[in-house]
Amino acid sequence: MSAAPQSAGPQSAGPQSAVPQPATPPPGTSPDDAPAARRTAAELVAALPPSPAIWCSGLRKSFGRRPAVQDVSFEVGRGEVVGLLGPNGAGKTTVIKMLLGLVRPDGGESMLLGRPTTDPAARARVGYLPELFRYQPWLTAAEVMAFHVRLAQVDVAERERLDRLALVGLAGRADDRVGGFSKGMQQRLGLAVALVVRPQLVVLDEPTSALDPLGRADVRDIVLDLRAHGVAVLLNSHLIGEVERVCDRVVILDGGRVAASGSLAELLGQREVRLRLSGVTADVAARLAATGSVREADGWYTLSLPADDAAVPLTDPADDAAVPLTDPVPDLVRDLVRLGARVHAVEPGRITLEDRLLGILRSGHGGDA
C-alpha cells in the first residue's frame, strides 16, 4: 500500500525482542577483551529492530461483571498507521485507555515504544487525543500547549508550539481562553496537544467527531504526514472511509475481542467481478462455479474471486511484468465465449472496508486475515 514500515512481524512480537541481551563476554575472554565485548554488544543492540510502537497481549478488563475487553492482542509497528474498528461498546476506547495507563487492566501485558505501560516513562513520547476532549477552560490555547510540554518534560520552543497550533488552524487563537472555544476548536486544540511533544506514537480516539468535512480531510493529511515522518498512529474511528484511506492495517474489535486483523490488502483481498451474460448453459454455469462463488440476478453474474488471486494487482498493462499471470478473469471470459455464452459486460466489483467489516461482524468473526 505504501512505503511505510510495516509491522516487524511475529519474530518481534514479544517484548523480549526489545530487550537487549546482557553483554556478558563469552567464556574464556580475558578482562582486556571486555571493552571490545561491550562494543560488540552495543553494536548488536543498535542493530536490533526498534521495538514496536504498541505491543499488547491478552489484555482483559471487566467493569463490574460485564467483560469489556477479553484477551486482546495486537501490535503497531514503528511508522505504521493502524485503525481500530468496531461497533459501539466493542471495547476500543477501553483498550486505548489501558495502553495509556488510564484504565487498569485485569490481565495481560502491554508495552509502548519498548517500555511496559506500567512505567509512566513509556508515555514520554506519546501523543493522545481522547474521545472526551476537554482542556482547562481557564487557560489560553498557548498555555495549554506549554503546560503539556512541561508535563512531558521535553524542550519544545514556543515557536514550535505555535506552529502546532497553526497546523490545526488555531494560529490566531493562541491567546484566547479555551473556555470560549467551540467543540470543533477544542478538538483541533487536542490534536495540537497530541502533536506538541514530537511524539513517536500518536493515539487518536475519534479525532474527527466534532470536525467539519474540511477538518476531517486535514486530520487525514496530518496522519499521512505523521506516517511519512515515521510516527506510528493508532486511529480509532467510526468513519470507515477515513480509516481505509490512511491505515496500513486494521484491528477489528467486537464484543471486547479481536474479531479480525490484518493489512487492508489482506482484509479487502477478496474481489468481485460482475458479468452480464446471456446464453448461459450448464457448461457455462459450471465454468463460472469453478472460478468462484456465483450470485445471479437479472442476467448479472457476480463472481467472488478467491483472496489469493485477487491479491495480485491488476494495474499497469503497459508493463508486461506487472500483468498478473494468475488473474483468472481473462481466461474465464475466453472460456465463457468458447462455451457459447454471450458476454455483454465485465465489471470489476470492489469490496469496501465497510462491506468487509459488516460481513465480519454479522458472520460472528471471520478470524484473522
Partner 1 sequence: MNALGTTTGGVAGDGVSPDLGSRTPNPLRTVGTIAALTLREASRRRVLLALAALTVVLLALSAWGFSRLAAEAGPDTLTSGEARLTASIMLNLVMFGFSLIAALGTAFLAGPTLAGETESGIALSVLARPVRRWAFLLGKWLGLVGFGSGFVVVAGLAQCLVVQATVGYWPPRPAVALALLAAQTVALLTLALLLSTLVSPMASGVVAVGLFGATWIAGVVAGIGESLGNDAVARVGPISRMLLPTDGLWRGAMHAFQDPSAFLRLGGEEAAAFPFLGAAPLTWTYLVWAAVWVAMIWALAAVSFGRRDL
226 is a contact residue toward partner 1 (CB under 8 A): yes
Q: Which three cell numbers stand for residue 277?
A: 451474460
Q: Cβ closer to partner 1: 223 or 336?
A: 223
Interacting residue with partner 1 among 8, 69, 76, 193 (CB under 8 A): 193
208 binds partner 1 (CB under 8 A): no
133: contact with partner 1 by CB under 8 A: yes
Contact 194, 149 (CB under 8 A): no
By CB under 8 A, is residue 138 in contact with partner 1? yes
Count residues near partner 1 (CB under 8 A).
68
Name the β-bridge partners of 112.
Answer: 54, 115
Q: Contact with partner 1 (CB under 8 A): which of 38, 134, 334, 342?
A: 134
Does residue 169 touch partner 1 according to CB under 8 A?
Answer: yes
Could you tell me the smallest distance in angstroms from the CB atom of residue 96 to partner 1?
9
Is residue 363 helix, strand or coil? coil
Q: Does 126 bind partner 1 (CB under 8 A)?
A: yes
- Taking CB under 8 A as the criterion, the residue among 86, 199, 207, 269 binding partner 1 is 199
Q: Binding of partner 1 at residue 123 (CB under 8 A)?
A: yes
Q: Report the residue from 231, 235, 250, 252 that binds partner 1 according to the rule CB under 8 A.
A: 231
Q: Which is nearer to partner 1, 199 or 328 (CB)?
A: 199
Residue 161 found at the interface with partner 1 (CB under 8 A)? no
* C-alpha to C-alpha distance for 158 and 137, rounded to whole angstroms: 20
**Binding of residue 176 to partner 1 (CB under 8 A):** no
Q: Is residue 18 helix, strand or coil?
A: helix
Please give the backbone phi and psi of residue 258, each rounded to the nearest 5 degrees, phi first.
-75, 110
For 194, residues 6+ apart whose C-beta sits below 8 A from its C-beta are 127, 128, 129, 202, 203, 204
Tell me which of 52, 78, 92, 369 binds partner 1, using CB under 8 A: 78
| CA–CA gap between residue 26 and residue 17 (Å, rounded) | 21
Residue with cell 571486555: 34
Closest-CA residue to 240 (of 220, 270, 257, 258): 220
As beta bridge partners, residue 55 has: 75, 111
8 Å CB contact between 92 and 118? no
Q: How far is the CB of 301 from partner 1 (least distance, A)?
A: 45
Give the DSSP H or E segment for 355: helix 353-362
4 binds partner 1 (CB under 8 A): no
- Nearer to partner 1 among residue 228 and residue 345 (C-beta): 228
Residue 97 touching partner 1 (CB under 8 A): yes
Among positions 38, 39, 229, 334, the unique one binding partner 1 when judged by CB under 8 A: 229
> How are beta strands 232-236 and 249-254 bridged, if at all?
unpaired
Using CA atoms of 326, 332, 338, 339 in order, give the dihedral in degrees to the nearest 10.
Answer: 140
User: Residue from 15, 67, 230, 349 that binds partner 1 (CB under 8 A)?
Assistant: 230
Task: Give the interface segment with partner 1, choosing from 148-156, 272-280, 307-315, 328-336 (CB under 8 A).
Answer: 148-156
The residue from 79, 91, 256, 292 that contacts partner 1 (CB under 8 A) is: 79
Helices vs. strands in the chain: H and E counts, helices first: 12, 14
Helix/strand/coil for 88: coil
Q: Which stretch binds partner 1 (CB under 8 A): 33-41, 69-77, 146-154, 326-334?
A: 146-154
For the stretch 210-249, what's the b/e string if a residue is b when 16 or more beta carbons lie within 10 angstroms of its beta carbon? bbeeebbebbbebbbebbeeebbbbbbbebbebbbbbbbb
Footprint on this chain of partner 1 (rule: CB under 8 A):
5, 46, 50-51, 63, 78-79, 97, 100-104, 113-115, 119-126, 128-130, 132-136, 138-139, 147-148, 150-153, 160, 163-164, 166-169, 171, 188, 190, 193, 195, 198-200, 203, 214-215, 218, 221-222, 225-226, 228-232
